[in-house]
């Protein structure tokens, strides 16, 4: 229940819901603007008399982008319908740019839909041309989504700079400037700024933005820094504008640039922190694994085995096997420690051969090994120990002969509710000593009867010395 609640209220989920709400709001706002065109109510598409108006072509581009953004998801590719709408919006913006830059005059028109109801061609002329910054913003928004799957870095860059022009306009109008260089209709800015931010939020799964939406103290702090990155430049611009320290156009542009720069710094800093944190965690995991692993055999060491054994405390039955190599000191003395290390590695490979019980195999110390078998009773544990004894006895020894590497085994089981694994291991240890006293190379359980059929076949130290001398 709690995990599902965290998923529903995660920052990524909230960002996705906010993006959907913003796209729906833009479309609703566009409907209001269209009603102004059709009814001749100029106040719905031009907020101030004589000020910049939202052109019908801008409205069409915005509506296409709005419907397309409703189908965008951070975890899915852009589907066919959204792709078509983005292509249409980008194509119309490019055509309008071609008219303005190359030909110097417009070929497209608002069309009869927006001309007749608003006073005919005379009213259409009053709308003026679509602003260059408006077209570039629409083109960047569309390009950010069209390139997202194939060129994600270029797509994210396009989406990231798309809010700049609308932000300049919003800052300028909030400072009380009605006319300034690079001006954009306030209605157009109100339509394009949310859409551009929705485009940016579609990249929340990318490595650069993902840390910003982490449900952690650092993620929450980064989001607060972004709000401050927009808030402080805006506040500084308000002060400069009212004191007339700067020209109106420069104040709006500089404030917006400062805000974008501050946000960029926060994003880069957050990403750098995330990379550093991932490296730190990877190093910690590597150190923890190294601390819990025997470097010679690759098995768990005593520390690592205890952590796994503690997790089995409530399970019953649990089989315990303790194995100790016979005459291993003589192998080291006669053949050298390098050969002894190789023997230990060979024994470890046999012990971790796998029996399907989810067993824990560890080097318990020196030439002693521990095998813990969850869900395995005493009879099955003894059978497993006998298989291991037989496999070890069949290993080629230091001279290449079979029978030079053997082990004695002690077996026990934790079965009663009041019993503990520690007590079971003590019983297995007692059984191991009984196997040693009984001639080695055998399996004993609970320190009493239960010898294997192969008992007493371990090669004596003198025979090992004779073979070493012969070699």
More confident residue, 76 or 163: 163
What are the domain boundaries of the chain? Answer: 2-206, 302-470
In sequence order, the 6+-apart residues with CB closer than 8 A to the CB of 142 are 65, 68, 86, 87, 89, 90, 93
- Looking at residue 396, the DSSP 8-state letter turns out to be B
Percent of all residues in the chain with a pLDDT value above 90, rounded to a whole number: 33
b vs e for 255-283, b when ≥16 Cβ sit within 10 Å of the residue's Cβ? bbebbbebbeebbeebbeebeeeeeeeee
Considering 367, 386, 404, 413, which one is annotated as catalytic?
367
Closest CA to 371 of 343, 344, 405, 410: 410
pLDDT per position as a tens digit, 347-385: 999 998 767 777 889 999 899 999 999 988 899 999 999
What is the secondary structure of 12-67 as a DSSP string?
HHHHHHHHHHHHHHHHHHHHHHHHHHHHT-GGGT-SSTTS----HHHHHHHHHHHH
For residue 432, is pLDDT > 60? yes
**Among the residues of 292-377, which ranges form H helices?**
302-310, 328-335, 337-351
More confident residue, 340 or 401: 340
What CATH architecture does domain 302-470 belong to?
2-Layer Sandwich (3.30)
Instruction: Give the model's pLDDT for residue 29.
Output: 92
pLDDT (average), residues 295-307 = 89
Which stretch of 95-104, 287-296, 323-332 has the lowest confidence by average pLDDT? 95-104
Q: Is 367 a catalytic residue?
A: yes
Q: Which two tokens stand for residue 256?
A: 């917006």
Output the pTM of the full model.
0.62
For residue 7, is pLDDT > 50? no
Which stretch of 105-119, 242-256, 424-438 has the lowest confidence by average pLDDT? 105-119
- Looking at residue 460, the DSSP 8-state letter turns out to be P
More confident residue, 359 or 51: 359
Return d(Cα 46, Cα 36) in angstroms, integer: 9
Work out the pLDDT band at 32, boundaries 50, 70, 90.
very high
Work out the pLDDT band at 249, boundaries 50, 70, 90.
low
């Amino acid at each position: 229940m709690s995990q599902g609640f965290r998923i529903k209220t995660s920052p990524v989920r909230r960002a996705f819901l906010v993006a959907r709400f913003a796209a729906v709001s833009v479309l609703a706002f566009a409907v209001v603007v269209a009603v102004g065109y059709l009814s001749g109510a100029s106040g719905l598409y031009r907020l101030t008399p004589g000020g910049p108006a939202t052109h019908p072509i801008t409205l069409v581009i915005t509506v296409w982008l709005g419907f397309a953004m409703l189908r965008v998801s951070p975890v899915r590719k852009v589907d066919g319908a959204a792709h078509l709408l983005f292509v249409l919006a980008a194509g119309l913006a490019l055509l309008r740019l071609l008219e303005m830059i190359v030909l110097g005059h417009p070929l497209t028109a608002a069309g009869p839909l927006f001309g007749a109801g608003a006073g005919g061609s005379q009213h259409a002329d009053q709308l003026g041309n679509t602003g260059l910054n408006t077209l570039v913003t629409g083109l960047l928004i569309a390009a950010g989504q069209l390139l997202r799957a194939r060129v994600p870095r270029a797509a994210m860059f396009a989406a990231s700079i798309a809010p700049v022009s609308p932000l300049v306009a919003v800052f300028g109008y909030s400072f009380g400037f009605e006319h300034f260089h690079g001006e954009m209709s306030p209605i157009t800015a109100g339509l394009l700024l949310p859409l551009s931010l929705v485009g940016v939020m579609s990249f929340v799964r990318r490595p650069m933005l993902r840390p910003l939406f982490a449900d952690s103290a650092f993620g929450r702090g980064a989001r607060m820094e972004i709000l401050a990155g927009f808030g402080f430049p805006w506040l500084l611009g308000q002060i400069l504008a009212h004191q007339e320290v700067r020209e109106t156009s420069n104040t709006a542009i500089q404030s917006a640039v400062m805000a974008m720069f501050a946000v960029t710094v926060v994003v880069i800093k957050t990403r750098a922190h995330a990379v550093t944190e991932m490296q730190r965690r990877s190093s910690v995991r590597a150190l923890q694994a190294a601390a819990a692993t025997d470097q010679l055999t690759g098995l768990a060491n005593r520390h690592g085995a205890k952590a796994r054994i503690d997790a089995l405390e409530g399970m019953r039955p649990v089989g315990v096997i303790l194995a100790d190599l016979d005459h291993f000191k003589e192998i080291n003395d006669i053949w050298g420690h390098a050969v002894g290390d190789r023997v230990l590695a060979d024994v470890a490979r046999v012990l971790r051969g796998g029996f399907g019980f989810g067993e824990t195999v560890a080097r318990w110390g020196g030439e002693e090994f521990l095998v813990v078998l969850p869900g395995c009773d005493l009879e099955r544990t003894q059978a497993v120990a006998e298989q291991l004894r037989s496999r070890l006895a069949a290993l080629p020894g230091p001279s290449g002969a079979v029978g030079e590497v053997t082990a004695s085994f002690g077996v026990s089981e934790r079965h009663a509710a009041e019993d503990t694994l520690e007590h079971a291991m003590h019983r297995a240890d007692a059984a191991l000593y009984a196997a040693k006293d009984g001639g080695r190379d055998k399996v004993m359980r609970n320190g009493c009867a239960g010898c294997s059929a192969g008992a007493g076949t371990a090669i004596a130290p003198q025979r090992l010395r004779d073979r070493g001398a012969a070699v």
